[in-house]
Amino acid sequence: MKKNTKEEIVDSAVLLFNTYGTSSVSTNHIAEESGVSIGNLYYYFKNKEEIIREILECMISDWDHIWVAPSNGDILDGLQTIIRQSFHLEWKYRFFYRELIALMRIDEQLQQRHQEIEKQRIEEQKKLIENLINSGVIRNLRSPSDIDSLLTISWLISNYWLSFLESDGQEITDEQVERGVQLILTVFKPYLAI
């Protein structure tokens, strides 16, 4: 489990960002935390923004692993698993979700990359829902725009459930994560075949 210098820097940055927020953490802090000299840090990263961009790439890679996982067995079960793992990733990189819009406003490159993969992800989710409709798990939807609405709502929940808990001052526990999963199912409940 030997980490190289670059990984060491990224890991320390995530730790500090999660704890103190990006604006309170300087490159000097990151260097100190990771036990790497300032000079060496700047050998690997041009600036703080580039570190954050690298963290985004780590997130993307983590996400890919979740979606690649084959959902053998119950299709609804597979969906729940994906949602659950998504919540865990959001927690791992929580600083990013807390400050998302602010970060993207500062760094346009970050914005473009994030929006690019976000678009992909929505498409994937759309396909998954269509799958559920085709296999008869979901029915009784009145119009195609209803699908869009449902999709948007479940997206909102999966992306902001942890933020809501945090801003409400609640602890993030496994039970809370489970509540989030169930919340998404609540939205679909009226349209689920028993």
Binding region for DNA (CB under 7 A)? 5, 26-29, 35-40, 42-44, 46-48
In angstroms, what is the C-alpha Rg of the chain? 19
Write out the binding residues for a second copy, residues 76-95 only, by CB under 8 A. Answer: 95
Q: Residue 137: left if φ>0, alpha if ψ -120 to 50, beta else—which one?
A: alpha
Least CB distance to DNA at residue 113 (A): 19
Residue 5 contact among DNA, a second copy, none, beta carbon within 5 to 8 Å by kind: DNA
Write out the binding residues for a second copy, residues 9-38 only, by CB under 8 A. Answer: 20-24
Residue 186 within binding range of a second copy, rule CB under 8 A: yes
Q: Residue 157: left if φ>0, alpha if ψ -120 to 50, beta else—which one?
A: alpha
Least CB distance to a second copy at residue 178 (A): 13
End-to-end CA distance of the chain: 47
Helix axes 48-68, 75-92, angle to 10 degrees: 160
Place of tokens 């479940």: 154
CB closer to DNA out of 28 and 170 = 28
Q: x/- string (CB under 8 A) for a second copy, residues 135-154? A: -----------x--xx-xx-
Which tokens belong to 18? 């999660």
